[in-house]
């Protein structure tokens, strides 16, 4: 009998070497109504995090079935423009956009027309400055990926900070939020300093209104870490490990599905073929997998491999018709995932993810 679900359909949206960029990395994707925005860092003169980097975007008006040509959202000359984050607003067409420059300043822009245009950039670094008395950072980063809007209207973005300069570590995690629809931003509290080098983090709102953070970290346990706050800003619980979600040390994504449950994506792998496991806690970025939980992350009962080969950062979105989109790093020049070959979007159904259980 034929399966009742279709296999994922994939399309490369950004390819290394095109448009004068040596590679594209750090994908983010946002669905809002019929509009889908796929965005990323475009690295012009090098593969590293501190290259001449622009933020680029492709836009769809039919739920990700077809895409407009790439356009540059932010170009700050030779500066590093990094860690783009978008949040779907309450109104149709309303999109909130945050990013950083040189890992030192943060900015906010807003669209009222589904990403056709964005307003002037407003600096919001002051939100991070309030954390200096607790942690004297010299690196800040939003997201990356997507942020969330809570049921009470609060806009919320997970952030990380470092005192290590271009090494990005040591590091700490917090959130920034806006209670006036992006007009002003302020920082939440730092999470307890119990994890080695926590960084890229996703926030999700639970049914009771509390906020859960799913945290990248460099612990030898090789598991994602979890912390919870009643309001997404203060009173964070001491981070604990989720034994079911392995951590190769890579960005992951977390999102709700309107038909029920949470979706999580990351390279579900602890093998070390491409990295020197004797010198680093990192494991290979491959075997990108999507998992589903029906009980807000208490158990993860279904999983599907989306990309068995080299695959790294990913971000998830759900379209108006319930289709799931995953924009992810795929392949690597010279078999090096840090020299990403393509940013690929996969489209699939919740039934496909849930077709097998474990």
pLDDT tens for 298-330 read 999 999 999 999 999 999 999 999 999 999 999
The structure tokens listed for 200 are: 């890229």
The structure tokens listed for 305 are: 């491999």
Of residues 266 and 357, more confidence is placed in 266
Residue 5 maps to a domain: no
The structure tokens listed for 90 are: 């309450």
- Which of the residue ranges 2-11, 121-130, 135-144, 208-217 would you say has the lowest mean pLDDT? 2-11
The closest of 22, 27, 16, 26 to 47, measured between CA atoms, is 22
Residue 19 maps to a domain: yes
pLDDT in tens, 111-140: 999 999 999 999 999 999 999 999 999 999
What's the average model confidence in pLDDT over 62-90?
A: 98
244: left (phi over 0), alpha (psi -120 to 50) or beta: alpha
What is the per-residue pLDDT for 62?
Answer: 97
The answer, yes or no, to whether residue 357 has pLDDT greater than 60, is: no
What is the per-residue pLDDT for 1?
Answer: 33
**Residue 196's domain is classified under what CATH number?**
2.120.10.10
What's the average model confidence in pLDDT over 210-220?
A: 98
What is the per-residue pLDDT for 4?
Answer: 62
Q: Is this structure's pTM higher than 0.95?
A: yes
DSSP string, 144-157: SEE-EE-TTS-EEE
The structure tokens listed for 330 are: 């795929």
Residue 6 maps to a domain: no
The answer, yes or no, to whether residue 156 has pLDDT greater than 90, is: yes
Residue 3 maps to a domain: no
Quick count: other Cβ atoms within 10 Å of Cβ 266? 28
Domain that holds residue 93: 13-353
Residue that is written with structure tokens 């990248």 in the block: 216
As a whole-number percent, the residues of the chain with pLDDT over 90 amount to: 96
pLDDT band with cut points at 50, 70 and 90 for residue 358: very low
Residue 236 maps to a domain: yes
Q: What's the domain count of the chain?
A: 1
Residue 22 maps to a domain: yes
pLDDT in tens, 163-204: 999 989 999 999 999 999 999 999 999 999 999 999 999 999
Residue 248 maps to a domain: yes
Between strands 81-88 and 95-101, the pairing is: antiparallel
What is the per-residue pLDDT for 150?
Answer: 98
DSSP state of 55: E
pLDDT band with cut points at 50, 70 and 90 for residue 5: confident
Residue 154 maps to a domain: yes
As a whole-number percent, the residues of the chain with pLDDT over 70 amount to: 98
Mean pLDDT of the chain: 96
pLDDT band with cut points at 50, 70 and 90 for residue 86: very high
């Amino acid at each position: 009998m034929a399966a009742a679900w279709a296999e994922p359909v994939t399309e490369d949206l950004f390819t290394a070497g095109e448009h004068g960029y040596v590679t594209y990395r750090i994908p983010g994707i946002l669905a809002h109504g019929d509009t889908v925005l796929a965005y990323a860092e475009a690295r012009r003169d090098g593969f590293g995090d501190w290259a001449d980097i622009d933020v680029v975007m492709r836009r769809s008006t039919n739920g990700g079935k077809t895409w407009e040509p790439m356009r540059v959202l932010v170009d700050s000359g030779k500066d590093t423009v990094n860690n783009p984050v978008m949040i779907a607003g309450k109104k149709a067409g309303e999109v909130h956009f945050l990013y950083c420059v040189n890992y030192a300043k943060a900015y906010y822009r807003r669209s009222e027309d589904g990403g056709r245009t964005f307003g002037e950039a407003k600096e919001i670094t002051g939100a991070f400055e309030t954390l200096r008395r607790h942690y004297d950072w010299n690196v800040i980063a939003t997201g990356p990926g997507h942020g969330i809007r809570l049921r009470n209207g609060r806009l919320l973005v997970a952030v990380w900070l470092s005192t290590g300069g271009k090494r990005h570590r040591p590091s700490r995690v917090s959130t920034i939020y806006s209670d006036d629809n992006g007009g002003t931003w302020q920082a939440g509290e730092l999470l307890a300093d119990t994890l080695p080098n926590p960084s890229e983090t996703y926030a999700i709102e639970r049914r009771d209104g509390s906020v859960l953070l799913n945290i990248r970290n460099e612990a030898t346990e090789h598991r994602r870490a979890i912390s919870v706050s009643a309001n997404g800003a203060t009173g964070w619980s001491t981070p604990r490990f989720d034994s079911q979600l392995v951590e190769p040390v890579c960005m992951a994504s977390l999102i709700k599905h309107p038909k029920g449950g949470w979706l999580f994506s990351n390279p579900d792998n602890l093998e070390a073929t491409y990295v020197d496991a004797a010198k680093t806690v990192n494991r290979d970025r491959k075997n990108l997998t999507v998992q589903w939980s029906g009980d807000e992350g208490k158990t993860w009962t279904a999983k599907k491999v989306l990309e068995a080969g080299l695959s790294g950062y990913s971000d998830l979105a759900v379209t108006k018709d319930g289709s799931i989109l995953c924009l992810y790093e795929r392949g690597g020049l010279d078999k090096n995932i840090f020299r990403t070959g393509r940013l690929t979007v996969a489209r699939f159904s919740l039934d496909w993810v849930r077709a097998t259980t474990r």
